[in-house]
Amino acid sequence: MEPDSLLTEVILTHPRKSLGKINLDWTPQPGNYLELKGKTYAVLERHHHYHYKIGGYSLQKISLHVQESRKPTEKTLIEGRWVVGDANCRFNAKSEILRCAVNPEGPCQGCRYYET
């Protein structure tokens, strides 16, 4: 294992099953996307697992709970973070994972529900 990488278990949320264990050299946050075995997954949750050794705890592994997803093509930077879709729309969820309730699959451009 490389010094800057950490064992990460990737768990599909529904149906719940492990997609495997990999070493990552970055720390995915909820809302990030991860490509694994030719598929794209949205990271929903991240859990840290610690192991106690004399002198304190050390981070043993990370588990990521994911769902299969397409990487969004429309993003808006709002308050220092990227959200899916056009954040100027009244119905935008201002979320890294969900675009909106009325048109979650998008696109925003040409949407009949679009309101500024």
Q: Is residue 1 part of a domain?
A: no
Q: Is residue 59 part of a domain?
A: yes
Same domain, 85 and 49: no
Query: Quick check: is 48 in a domain?
Result: yes
pLDDT over 50 (residue 26): yes
Q: In terms of domains, do 17 and 54 share one?
A: yes
> How many domains does the chain divide into?
2
What is the DSSP secondary structure assignment for residue 111, as one 8-state letter?
A: -
CA angle 5, 11, 13 (to 5 degrees): 145
Domain that holds residue 61: 6-68
- Please report the pLDDT score of residue 4 as a whole number: 64
Say yes or no: 53 and 37 in one domain: yes
Please give the pLDDT value at position 1. 44
Please indicate, yes or no, whether residues 30 and 53 belong to a single structural domain of this protein: yes
**Rounded mean pLDDT, 94-105:** 84
pLDDT at 55: 87
Mean pLDDT of 40-49: 93
pLDDT at 32: 87
Q: Tens of pLDDT along 45-74?
A: 999 999 998 889 998 899 999 999 887 778
Q: How confident is the model at residue 25 (pLDDT cuts 50, 70, 90)?
A: confident
Mean pLDDT of 97-102: 85
77 with 48, same domain?
no
Same domain, 19 and 52: yes
Within a domain: 56: yes
At 31, list the tokens.
């809302």
Average pLDDT of the chain, as a whole number: 87
The pTM score is: 0.71
Please report, rounded to a whole number, the percentage of residues in the chain having pLDDT higher than 90: 36
Q: Residue 47: inside a domain, yes or no?
A: yes
Q: Please tell me whether residues 59 and 94 are part of one structural domain.
A: no
Q: Are residues 13 and 58 in the same domain?
A: yes
